[in-house]
Amino acid sequence: MKSSSFPLSQKYLDFINTVNGVDADFLEGTTASGKTTVGAGVKFMRMVSRSSKKLHIIASKTTGTAEKNVIQQDNGILDIHPGARYYGNGDKDYKIPHIVFEGKIIFVLGYDNRDKWELVLGSQFGCVYIDEINTANIDFVREISTRNDYLMATLNPDDPNLPIYKEFINRSRPYKKYAADVPAEIMAELTETPVPKWRYWFFTFRDNLSLTKEAIEKKIRSAPPGTKLYKNKIQGLRGKATGLIFSNFDRKKHVVTKEHAKQFIRNQNDRHQTEWFVHFSAGLDTSYSQKSPDTISMSFIGITNRGNCYVLDEKVYNNADMGTPLAPTDTVRNFIDFLDRNRSEWGFARDTFIDSADQATITEFLKYKRLNGCVYNFNDAWKKEQIIDRIINQLNWFADAGTKPCFYIVETCVNYIRELEVYSWLEDKDNTPEDKNDHMINSVQYSWLPYEVKIGTGRRGS
């Protein structure tokens, strides 16, 4: 390896030098953070050099993409390692593109072509590098993950519902030294069962010491603040970059602590209290499928005398994840338990609203109330308002032009927050949301629809 022509931050030095006790490194972060240059060009090649195996892999969307972004660019593999030789058309020994390095072979694959990568994956490999793993064929990743001693993958922030996150990225963990560098939104998602020796790294352009202050500022200015492009590229946060419905939802503005929301519980002895909850409501959206990510979703909201709405609690069940799937009778018991718990903590929601398309569950609720007695009313959800109009309402409530927003979510409602960040429009049909990532969205809408004129008082002229 030639002397590095670019400076390295202490985090990158620690990353490069962490070679023992590591089976996988996952590198996520902002644009221009140097992940590919340092990851592929320096550490990956170091791991290849240390490996006892002869065969290794670099995978990108296409071989051309790998050549452009990983191998032949300035400070790419060939630039950093003058002794490496790239055979783009193969040679007499190996007919596919590959790099010869220190007597070892690094195959260069495009994961977009199943026929080609399936031909290669009959062997065990030493080191595997996957460029932009968030765009990779998930079958390729699953297959190659069992056929290597060491895996490195870079990725740009993307839709957190992609299987790559659940199956791979979110099973890795950062070193304690750099855990504080991981955005709280991402840290909250690194909760899948961890795999020992899988490490997570979050890099930003501030870790790339070759960028000047002026270059960083130029990149920041290139993306309009508040857009998903800004969120993905500049902040390095996950979320779909285009087509997002609640594009003005911002965790920093709209997510609050439980302690903050509890100040609005009515205290009759506090003569100085100016805002308190006057309405509580609950919504229920159901799906009993065992073959989809659709959920049984419960929500509990409070609306104050100042017209502010708070999503206070949620509970989500997915039959696909359960050994014994829930039936409507189970949902009745679970929802009443949910309502009782929130009545003790927040207040009494006498009227609740259930997806009117699920008459089987509603029938079970009415049966339960008839046989056992119950303080709650179980109503069909009010669906006369079109979905597009419900969306417009919430977009207005999230807006803060000239005043504060009037719609907030308690931070423990992680499923609802996640849906707000991925719920999107159909690409091929105007004004129509996709039919997924919406069960908590629907549940919350059912809870506020009967009271929408109470939300945003003074802002909407109601």
User: What one-character-per-residue DSSP string does 63-80 give?
Assistant: HHHHIIIIISSTTSHHHH
Instruction: Give 185 or 20, the one with higher predicted confidence.
Output: 20
Return the SS3 of 90: coil
Mean of pLDDT over the chain = 90
Alpha helices in 3-81 (DSSP H): 10-17, 35-38, 45-50, 63-66, 77-80
pLDDT value at residue 401: 58
Beta-carbon contacts of 24 under 8 Å, excluding residues fewer than 6 positions away, are 150, 151, 152, 153, 172, 195, 197, 198, 199
Confirm if 441 and 390 have CB atoms less than 8 A apart. no
Query: Residue 337: is its pLDDT beyond 70?
Result: yes
Q: In 3-state terms, what secondary structure has residue 296? A: strand
Q: Among 142, 105, 110, which residue's Cα sits nearest to residue 127? A: 105
Helix or strand (DSSP H, E) at 414 = helix 414-420
The pLDDT of residue 458 is: 53
pLDDT (average), residues 299-315: 97
Q: How many residues comprise the chain?
A: 462
Q: What is the mean pLDDT of residues 216-220?
A: 86
Collapsed DSSP state (helix, strand, coil) of residue 364:
helix
Per-residue pLDDT averaged across 74-83, rounded?
93
pLDDT confidence band for 268 (50 / 70 / 90) = confident
Instruction: Give CA torsion, residues 180, 182, 186, 188, to 10 deg.
Output: -20
Q: Is residue 318 very low, low, confident or very high in pLDDT (cuts 50, 70, 90)?
A: confident
The yes-or-no verdict on residue 249 having pLDDT over 80 is: yes
- Residues 165-183 have a mean pLDDT of 95
pTM over the 0.75 mark: no
Residue 1: per-residue pLDDT:
53
Residue 54's pLDDT band (boundaries 50, 70, 90)? very high
Q: Is the pLDDT of residue 461 over 70?
A: no
With 70 as the cut, is the pLDDT of residue 213 above it? Answer: yes
pLDDT of residue 462: 38
Q: Structural domains in the chain?
A: 10-221 (3.40.50.300), 251-454 (3.30.420.280)
Cβ contacts of 440 within 8 Å, gap of 6 or more: 285, 295, 297, 299, 314, 316, 413, 415, 416, 419
Please give the average per-residue pLDDT across 225-230, as a whole number: 67
Distance (Å) of CA 146 to CA 24, 149, 150, 151: 12, 9, 10, 10
- Tell me: pLDDT of 345 over 80: yes
B/e letters for 310-343, b = 16+ CB within 10 Å, e = fewer, are bbbbbbbbbbeeeeeebebebbbebbbebbeebb
